[in-house]
């Protein structure tokens, strides 16, 4: 069974934020996460963690003006100075809170700028953040987010490979809804190839029957 951490940004919202630590502990959680610690003093957050016997597993780097709809700035040309200024701030919070993993939200595309401009900005900023965080034994992770929850979120898929689950056999042998996935790929304008990286059963020729039924 996986280990579960309560996200205090999303859960226990019937209570003010600083009261959610107690509610998480009462519900049986030993670990928590939340989007941003920055509106609060690190020492106050640590006091709540300690008071209720909780450990924190994750929070995000500063991500721009969240209230105005921004969802990260790591990939936004012209915002690199702001992004990099947030890295030492995150490090200070992580050291106080005992967090060894920090998440990066890359942001939404800026109209009129190319994917390559966004991508180059992201590469340079992620390299900077990862290097600085590593000096303090903090790992940087990057979160890909679907376009339903955050329309326009920068996400570049270069290649897709498929197999069903469980068993890693051909589509139709497991529980994955491949017709839905294929429709989403078409609607998103995905231009690449989909590699058939599955274990065919009972043989390759027979396993290809799904191509006629699922892609018609």
Catalytic residues: 143, 197
What does the block give as tokens for 33?
């996460």
Instruction: Calculate the CA dihedral of residues 152, 158, 161, 164 and round it to 10 degrees.
Output: -10
Tokens standing for residue 31 = 């670990």
| Order of strands across the sheet that contains 6-7 | 6-7, 31-33, 55-60, 101-104, 139-142
Which pairs with CB-CB distance under 8 Å and at least 24 residues apart come from 179-183? 179/214, 182/214, 182/215
Q: What distance in Å separates the CA atoms of residue 52 and residue 29, rounded to the nearest whole number?
A: 10
Residue 194 contacts residue 163 (beta carbons within 8 Å): no
User: Taking a C-beta distance cutoff of 8 angstroms, is the pair 152, 108 a contact?
Assistant: yes
Around 157, how many Cα atoms within 13 Å sit in the side-chain half-sphere? 16
């Amino acid at each position: 069974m996986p280990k579960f951490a309560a996200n205090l940004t999303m859960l226990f919202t019937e209570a003010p934020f600083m009261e959610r630590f107690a509610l998480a502990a009462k519900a049986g959680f030993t670990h928590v996460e939340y989007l941003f610690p920055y509106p609060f003093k690190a020492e106050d957050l640590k006091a709540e963690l300690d008071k209720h016997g909780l450990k924190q597993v994750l929070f995000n780097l500063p991500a721009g003006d969240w209230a105005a709809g921004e969802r990260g700035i790591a990939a936004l040309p012209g915002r690199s100075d702001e992004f990099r200024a947030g890295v030492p701030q995150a490090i200070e919070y992580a050291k106080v809170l005992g967090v060894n993993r920090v998440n990066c939200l890359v942001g939404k595309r800026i109209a009129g700028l190319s994917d390559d401009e966004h991508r180059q900005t992201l590469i340079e900023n992620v390299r900077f953040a990862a290097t600085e965080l590593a000096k303090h034994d903090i790992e940087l992770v990057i979160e890909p987010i679907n376009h339903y929850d955050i329309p326009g979120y920068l996400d570049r898929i270069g290649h897709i490979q498929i197999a069903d689950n469980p068993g890693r056999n051909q589509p139709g042998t497991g529980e994955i809804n491949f017709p839905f996935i294929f429709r989403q790929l078409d609607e998103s304008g995905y231009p690449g190839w989909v590699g058939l990286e599955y274990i065919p059963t009972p043989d390759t020729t027979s396993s290809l029957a799904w191509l006629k039924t699922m892609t018609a």
